[in-house]
């Protein structure tokens, strides 16, 4: 069964990572820290969503109190 281009890229990436590890001790390998995963939503959209939700809640509470 032939490899798909996606599988081929993944295999090349894995082979490159393994080759970079060759000849290094476990301590040297553990020092290499991978980046933390990024949030799928940007901070601007998160703030906007919070403003809409909490702003709507605030207006709803105010309308129930004063009317």
Distance CA 52, CA 45 (A): 10
Query: How is the chain split into domains, by residue range?
Result: 43-67
Q: What is the pLDDT of residue 61?
A: 92
Tokens of 41: 């939503």
**33-48 pLDDT tens trace:** 666 778 888 999 999 9
10 Å CB burial of residue 42 (0-12, 13-18, 19+) is: exposed
User: CB of 44 within 8 A of CB of 36?
Assistant: no
Q: In 1-67, which ranges are continuous DSSP H helix?
A: 5-21, 26-31, 43-66
More confident of the two residues 21 and 36: 21
Percentage, residues of the chain above pLDDT 70: 93
Q: What's the pTM value of the predicted model, to 2 decimals?
A: 0.40
Tokens of 48: 């906007």
């Amino acid at each position: 069964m032939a490899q798909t281009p996606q599988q081929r890229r993944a295999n090349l990436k894995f082979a490159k990572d393994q080759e970079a590890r060759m000849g290094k001790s476990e301590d040297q390998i553990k020092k290499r820290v991978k980046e933390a995963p990024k949030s799928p939503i940007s901070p601007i959209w998160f703030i906007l969503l919070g403003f809409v939700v909490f702003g709507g809640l605030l207006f709803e509470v105010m309308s129930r109190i004063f009317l």
